[in-house]
Amino acid sequence: MVLTGSVTGSTGNPAFSVYSATKAAVPNFARNWILDLKDRHIRGNVVSPGVIETAGLDELFGGGVQAEGVKAGLVASIPAGRVGKPEDVAQAVLFLASDAASFINGAELFVDGGMTQI
């Protein structure tokens, strides 16, 4: 099982307190569920995306030129130097769901270009 968290669960963000609190709970669910589900050999991990280029992101930032300006400002805080793509998140999920990750259990993988590390 791969749950979707968010970098906001590990960082402070103005006006996002409730959203951030709910996302902070997701890794805790995974850590507890791996104990509850161990007899069924079900692994659980969390993918926590950062700023990802989606229609929802554009809507959140007001769309159009305004959204592009906000995203450009955010890029300065992302060590990878870009906004993520949906494919970046998909590849992380595919990895965690695969046999290549068979000994990874209860982990949170940040797909954020290094944003939470600074």
Please list the active-site residues: 19
In DSSP terms, which residues pair with 111 in a beta bridge? Answer: 49
Tell me phi and psi for residue 61, to 5 degrees.
-95, 10
- Edge to edge, the sheet with strand 108-111 lists 2-4, 45-49, 108-111
Nearest to 88 by CA among 68, 59, 115: 115
Distance CA 12, CA 24 (A): 11
